[in-house]
Amino acid sequence: MQDQINTADTPTDSAGARRPVTERSAFQRILTLTVGPIIAAFLLSAIILVLVGVNPLTYYGYILERSLFSSLGLQQTATRMAPLLFLAAGLIVAFRAGIWNLGTDGQFLLGAVAAAATAPLLVGILPGWAVLLVGFLLAALVGALWSVIPALLKAYQGVNEIITTLMMSFLGVLLAATLVKLIFRDPSTTVPQTRTLPVDDRLPRLFDTSISSGLIWGLIAVLAVHLMMTRTSFGLRLRMVGANPVAATHAGLSVPLLTMATFGLSAGLAGLAGASEILGVAGNVPANWNPAYGLMVIPLVFLARFNGFGAIVLVFFYSALMIGSESAARRLGVPQNFTLVLVASLLICLGLGEYIDQHKRKKER
């Protein structure tokens, strides 16, 4: 939920005076924009499951049992959260600043390849912590550099970043696969993949579990971004640019430089997401690997209304859904990609929720 409600959206009475937003109207907005789309998406997906001959209660029940009510499943859910949290942090920065960075998948993969290509070569040369630090920094730098072209076109030419970031994401995915096959391929294996970082040199596990400590860094990233955007002058400048670039220019802000900074921060965090997956869990990047986490996180950030705490909760439940659906696919014969159907349903219901909310507010004015 937004931390502040713009007075322009505040309902007015018949005399034209502003009416304060009541707790009831705030609750109705939460129901329409967050809870409603989630429930509707699960109901719509349940109908699809019935049509293909699968009991939706059995499917959803098994997901909960596998991902939340078992020790191993809960640990896998927590580990899966790490890259999604970094991506959520990057998207919160971009969306709050009015920038549509839809190129996170390309930035994620290139950051992952950069970390996977560098870290194994540094083992034995640098201390373990330095190997991980170099991998993360290089991944963030590569992710940020991949956003330079869309940033320049948006900042100085006004080119729509939705088109440019999607194009750069497509190119980034192809470039990552090409780099793995031709330049960073592990010569000791027949399968095209990067060199593998030994398990002992990856991010440490939390306590005596299999949970990667990347989870902690992901949580720190989301909370730091939330505080930056809501409690600092720099975050206020970014939000001003997103709300009204013309007014921001009149206020003396450098809109092009702030636009460039937004792209760099958002894409850098996407690169860190790729590094956390490789340095914490996978250890290498296979050719043609693309989990498409970036596009999956977008509806979660919108459902959270760009709020860091809400994003953490939604990422947790979505991670549980991903882990549980992988097991349900094997046990119940449901395609593993059915999770994408749920994401698509969520996007449709989210759009309908936005439409209903806008229609209600117009009637109240």
Q: Tell me, what's the pLDDT at 52? A: 86
Residue 292 — left, alpha, or beta (φ > 0 → left; ψ -120 to 50 → alpha)? left
Which among 148, 132, 137, 119 has a CA at the least distance from the CA of 256? Answer: 148
User: DSSP H helical segments within 36-186, as ranges?
Assistant: 36-51, 56-67, 71-96, 104-122, 128-145, 148-157, 161-182
Domain boundaries, given as residue ranges, for the chain: 84-316
Distance CA 34, CA 4 (A): 17
Average pLDDT per consecutive 10 residues, the chain (365 residues; last block may be shorter): 39 44 63 82 91 88 86 92 97 95 96 96 94 97 97 94 96 96 92 94 92 96 96 94 88 93 97 97 94 91 91 93 83 80 84 82 74
Q: Tell me, what's the pLDDT at 348? A: 87
Q: Tell me, what's the pLDDT at 27? A: 67
- HSE of 321, CA atoms in CB hemisphere, 13 A: 19
> What predicted TM-score, i.e. pTM, was given to this entire model?
0.88
Which H or E run includes 187? none
Q: Tell me, what's the pLDDT at 22? A: 56
Q: Tell me, what's the pLDDT at 301? A: 93
Number of Cβ within a 10 Å radius of residue 2: 12
**Backbone torsions φ then ψ of 167, nearest 5 degrees:** -65, -45
Residues whose CB falls within 8 Å of the CB of residue 365, separated by 6 or more in sequence, listed in order: 11, 12
